Amino acid sequence: MAALRDFWRRYRRNKGAVVGLVVLASILLVAAFGPVIYPGNPWDMAGAPFQSPFGAENPLGTDTLGRDVATGIVHGARVSLLIGFVATLAAVGVGICVGAVAGYFGGRVDDLIMRLTEFFQTIPSFVFAVVLVAIFTPGIGSIVTAIAVVSWPAVARLVRGEFLTLRTREFVQASVVLGRSARHIIFVEILPNAISPIIVSASLMVATAILVESSLSFLGLGDPNMMSWGYMIGASRSVVRLAWWTSFFPGLAIVLTVLALNLVGEGLSDALNPRLSREGR
């Protein structure tokens, strides 16, 4: 309990991070309860096309086909956050396993795994994601997979670095002497001590994943059956001179979410690594 309070005290010191947390919390609330307020199908033609925003019926206006922009943003929040979190979870899971094995065992295993990781890193990640989604039919599953596939190498390298240093510490040596299994040492002894940089990079990775998903949808490679922010911008970029609101509000939603995630990530970094962040300044 005291540790948590201490954590919060350090987190609070970063004002930006607090603002980010508030914004992120409200976006999560919108994603959770928004569809109750806007129960309609986001694809339905809810009104006349190109209604300007701030009207009584369509607070954020309607798009080319008369679809309500507000409903789209609320439903899109679910898709964006879902993809962001699931893809990150998958990438972090793979990254931890690969990085831990490489860092703990070292030697030939490390060489092999790191060459493989570098192979993935040499391919420009967005282009790689586009190719993956295009090969597997665009859909929510293929998008999550593609984002995870292009994101895990960064986590793997980070985890490997942590493991390389922690492996030489006394408590690890002690476990080895006690005859603990490698699995036990990796997951019970070392991983908890390496978790803070992983959490920080994961929070930033969620933001990146949301951006990648939006870019894919913008290019028409999104799931054609799920409303997402990137899709909304992509579908209305052609009418930006006629109806600015159709792309402005989804764009604003992306900016706010990504900004909030970055601020939170920075706050987490401050709170989890107090020496790193404060001593340097």
Between 108 and 241, CB nearer to other proteins? 241
Q: Could you give the count of Cα atoms lying within 13 Å of 49 in the half-sphere of its Cβ?
A: 6
- Cα Rg for the chain, rounded, in angstroms? 22
- Give the nearest distance from C-beta 226 to other proteins in angstroms: 10
Between 226 and 271, CB nearer to other proteins? 226
Taking the C-alpha atoms of residue 62 and residue 66, their distance in angstroms, rounded to an integer, is: 5
- In sequence order, which residues have a C-beta less than 8 Å from that of residue 216 and are 6 or more positions away? 129, 130, 133, 138, 143, 146, 222, 230
| Site residues (vs other proteins, CB under 8 A) | 41, 43-45, 49, 64-66, 134, 137-138, 220-221, 224-225, 235, 238-239, 241-242
Minimal CA–CA distance to 47: which of 66, 65, 64? 66
Between 59 and 66, CB nearer to other proteins? 66
- Give the nearest distance from C-beta 238 to other proteins in angstroms: 5
Cα angle value 273/274/275 (rounded, 5°): 95
- Give the nearest distance from C-beta 121 to other proteins in angstroms: 27
- Give the nearest distance from C-beta 135 to other proteins in angstroms: 9
Instruction: Encode 155-172: b = buried (16+ Cβ within 10 Å), e = exposed.
Output: bbbbbbebbeebbeeeeb
Minimal CA–CA distance to 223: which of 169, 144, 147? 144
Between 14 and 142, CB nearer to other proteins? 142
- Give the nearest distance from C-beta 219 to other proteins in angstroms: 11
Q: Which two tokens stand for residue 180?
A: 């603990």
- Give the nearest distance from C-beta 249 to other proteins in angstroms: 19
Between 154 and 227, CB nearer to other proteins? 227
Between 168 and 225, CB nearer to other proteins? 225
